[in-house]
Structure 1
Amino acid sequence: MRRIITVEEHFDFPDSQTIPEQTEPENDAHVNPKGNDPALVTTLLANFDQKLAYMDQYGISLQVLSDPNAVASTITDKQKAVASAQRTNDHLAQKIAQYPGRFAGLAVLPLIDPEAAAEELHRSVTELGFKGALIGGVPFGHFLDEPQYLPIFEAAEKLEVPIYLHPGMPSKAQRELLYESPSYSDSLAGMLGSAGWGWHAEQGVQMIRLIAAGIFDRFPNLHLVSGHWGEMVPNFLERLDEFIGKIPTPLERKFSDYYRQNVFVTASGMFTKPQMQLAVTEMGADHVLWAEDFPFLRRKQQVTDFLEAADLTDKQKDQIAFQNSQKLFGLAK
């Protein structure tokens, strides 16, 4: 049986010592990221015994865990944000230690203070054994190409760990402008502005901006991870090369060169043949990772069956199933 490592899997630590602050972008009233059975998702986010039982039932060797909705990443008080991030990361480290070899962690960062976020990334990797960090959405309405976030990427490169860029909810103003219409329902607008399109379009823009800003010229050994088959970017690599190539830029290489060398894409539970074929064609099987997006998605037997049935060589399947993740995240073989 082929080893399976999934790398966009989630946990939740409410951090009862911190009162969550209301920040943009707020969730749409018509979209519940926990789906039709929020009670089950809530349980599976927190209960590690049930996570393990699910993994054993469906042939998953290891999950790389993260919290894309962490309280710490939304707090505007710097001291409180740091304390919350530390509590969350310590909690996850304690849980991982209880299940040797089955889980790995990505750090939650106090994004209101990028310098402190870099320090927490260093602590999480060197003291807690974490394998990188996850950043969700556009923190406080600021894209990550802005100079204040450079310490986070500098720390990641020095530590030789990746940063996973995860979608977040676009702002209310963006959703109203781009997705609301008198021609269809608010619930449809909510879905278009979130899981159907909006989350992913925004995160694709995030990646495009980072590359355009020269993040990989500044940090050539930095690696970023992009879910949902690359959040639409692989589909436009040739287009980006052509039109960026028509104007002078300070970039040292083509857009697609940076993307193919420094970015890894994951399935995020989108087990669909056309998207997989595009990702493997554009990126190569050595830059594709497996992921289920558990427990928000629970693909069950499809986690293993879809990959086994894919029109790929055994070598490519091994790369995607576990080898690429072992190398990128420094996981035990």
Structure 2
Amino acid sequence: MRGKVNFEEAFELPTLAESSRTQASKFIAPADLDRYMEHIKDPTGARLQEATDRGIGYTIYSHTVPGVQGISDKREAEEHARRGNDWIASEIRDYRERVGAFAALSMHDPAQAAGELERCVKMYGFHGALVNNFQHAGEDGETYLFYDQPDYDVFWTKCVELDVPVYLHPSAPTGRYYEQMYAQRKYLVGPPLSFAKRRLPAPFRPNNKRREHIPFDFWWINHWLQDVERLLAEKNGDFMCKRDIYHYFKRNIWVTTSGHFSTEAVAFRISAGCGWFDGEEESLIEALGGEDRYMMVGRENAKRLFGLGKYPDCDA
């Protein structure tokens, strides 16, 4: 399939790329690490050519993990986000028919995050934002800020006003949590286990488009909330959502493959993803229920969500 839309493609400022090598080594196969380190600081070089070769018509870049969410100092995080946004905007300026970006945001101050998102959307034409599922804060970095609290209403309201999605990416375990849970289980960091455990609770706040959680657990979550937790909330006078979980997910959440490149689950690189999607076209069309749905997964849903105009092979 030509004209596929690819997103969650990581970048880092060239001056800081080497500092992310340790983090990257937890997720990247040793033979690919040097190549990855070169690619994250060169978004429009060999990576763009590879995208072309693989039939990708449009790519959306985002700041690599742990990114701004790994910076516990508020001022430093805000400055780093702004610097990263300005850099990627400059890098892709001459390639906008093929390349876009998500804003990086410091989530220490919801109002400031809303302002930076608005700046990036209106000034640079960014397609929304990508943030990790919590913000490190505090002097030791061990305070975690989650975005489902009332203080963040100003941020989510701005997202609705701008009509752009926020991609919630699972963060890697760090600090005391890493030492207690994963230091002796380091090969479970990332897709094997830690990502799945850290995608919540942020998606359970209504009134916006957010993704990165495939809803395998819908029935179980909804049953428990409706048949147990709601009754307890009514008894205790606590707040509960007015509608069931299906209502909010169907209207506000866009599901991605999230690296699950298998018709029944493989690795997460451009070559693997495109090889799977194109190589198993017939079986995917059957599994998805028709060619129209295959096209929706490959590009049409993303075109609608991100408001994409014409780009190479967008109608191929």
Give TM-score scaled by structure 2 length.
0.81
Aligned residue type for 1:328? L
1:4-43 alignment, distance < 5 Å: 4-14=4-14, 32-36=26-30, 37-43=32-38
Q: How many angstroms apart in 1 are the aligned matches of 2:196 and 2:98? A: 29
Deviations 1:280-325 (A, max 9, x none): xxxxxxxxxxxx9556x85453343245541231110111111111
Deviations 1:112-136 (A, max 9, x none): 2222111100000011110100011
C-alpha distance 318-255 of structure 1, shift in aligned 2 (>3 A): same
Q: Across the two proteins, how many residue pairs are aligned to each other? A: 288
1:1-333 alignment, distance < 5 Å: 1-14=1-14, 32-36=26-30, 37-47=32-42, 48-69=44-65, 71-140=67-136, 141-179=144-182, 186=184, 189-203=185-199, 205-207=200-202, 210-211=203-204, 215-216=205-206, 219=207, 222-226=208-212, 230=213, 234-246=215-227, 247-248=229-230, 250-274=240-264, 294=269, 298-307=272-281, 309-310=283-284, 311=286, 312=288, 313-333=290-310
Q: How many angstroms apart in 2 are the aligned matches of 1:15 and 1:260? A: 41
Q: How many angstroms apart in 2 are the aligned matches of 1:294 and 1:11? A: 14
Instruction: Verify the 8 A CA contact 1:58 1:304 in the aligned structure 2.
Output: no
Deviations 1:40-96 (A, max 9, x none): 001111222111110111111111111132643333343332222111111111122
- Secondary structure of 2:198's partner? helix
Q: How many angstroms apart in 1 are the aligned matches of 2:189 and 2:77? A: 28
Deviation, structure 1 residue 172: 3.9
C-alpha distance 239-77 of structure 1, shift in aligned 2 (>3 A): closer
Q: How many angstroms apart in 2 are the aligned matches of 1:274 and 1:298? A: 15
- Residue 313 (structure 2) aligns with: none
Deviations 1:214-241 (A, max 9, x none): x31xx3xx10021xxx25xx11101112
Instruction: Verify the 8 A CA contact 1:241 1:254 in the aligned structure 2.
Output: yes
Instruction: Verify the 8 A CA contact 2:68 2:77 in the aligned structure 1.
Output: yes
Fraction of identical pairs, as percent: 25
Farther off after superposition, 78-87 or 236-245 = 78-87
C-alpha distance 150-111 of structure 1, shift in aligned 2 (>3 A): same
Farther off after superposition, 95-104 or 31-40 = 31-40
- Secondary structure of 1:32's partner? coil
Q: How many angstroms apart in 1 are the aligned matches of 2:269 and 2:103? A: 17
Instruction: Verify the 8 A CA contact 2:2 2:57 in the aligned structure 1.
Output: no
Gaps of 5+ in 1: 181-185, 277-291
Instruction: Verify the 8 A CA contact 1:13 1:70 in the aligned structure 2.
Output: no
Q: How many angstroms apart in 2 are the aligned matches of 1:74 and 1:318? A: 36
Q: How many angstroms apart in 2 are the aligned matches of 1:133 and 1:240? A: 27
Q: CA RMSD, aligned part only?
A: 2.9
- Secondary structure of 1:318's partner? helix
Instruction: Verify the 8 A CA contact 1:66 1:106 in the aligned structure 2.
Output: yes
Q: How many angstroms apart in 1 are the aligned matches of 2:268 and 2:86? A: 22
Q: How many angstroms apart in 2 are the aligned matches of 1:84 and 1:304? A: 38
- Residue 283 (structure 1) aligns with: none
Instruction: Verify the 8 A CA contact 1:68 1:136 in the aligned structure 2.
Output: no
Q: How many angstroms apart in 2 are the aligned matches of 1:193 and 1:325? A: 28
C-alpha distance 303-15 of structure 1, shift in aligned 2 (>3 A): farther
Instruction: Verify the 8 A CA contact 2:85 2:120 in the aligned structure 1.
Output: yes
Give TM-score scaled by structure 1 length.
0.77
